[in-house]
């Protein structure tokens, strides 16, 4: 799987490069039978622990508190025509 048809690793955008690495690992894990939901929980846990280490707990709490309204607005609902990043 690639991020919306972008070249796998030759993009100059480090955000797309990072996303494509995650998507490759995700695909590999789900192909071996690991449920997508478990991958999602593991990804969230890993992201939050890295963010806490980099920015501190208070900053991460602010980030997490801001996610609810964004989810409700559909920012993370993938549909045709929407672009990621």
Q: What does the pLDDT read at residue 3?
A: 53
d(CA 51, CA 40): 16
d(CA 60, CA 77): 22
How many alpha carbons fall within 13 Å on the CB side of residue 64? 14
Q: What does the pLDDT read at residue 27?
A: 95
pTM: 0.72
Q: What does the pLDDT read at residue 80?
A: 55
H/E segment holding residue 35 = none
Q: What is the pLDDT along the chain (85 residues), one digit of tens a residue?
A: 555 554 555 678 999 999 999 999 999 999 999 999 999 999 999 999 999 999 999 999 999 999 999 999 999 898 755 555 5
């Amino acid at each position: 799987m690639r991020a919306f048809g972008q070249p796998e690793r030759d993009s100059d955008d480090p955000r797309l490069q990072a996303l494509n690495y995650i998507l490759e690992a995700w695909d590999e894990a789900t192909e071996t039978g690991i449920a997508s939901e478990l991958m999602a929980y593991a990804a969230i846990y890993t992201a939050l622990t890295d963010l806490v280490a980099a920015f501190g707990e208070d900053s991460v709490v602010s980030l997490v508190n801001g996610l609810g309204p964004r989810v409700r607005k559909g920012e993370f609902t993938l549909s045709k025509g929407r672009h990621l990043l």
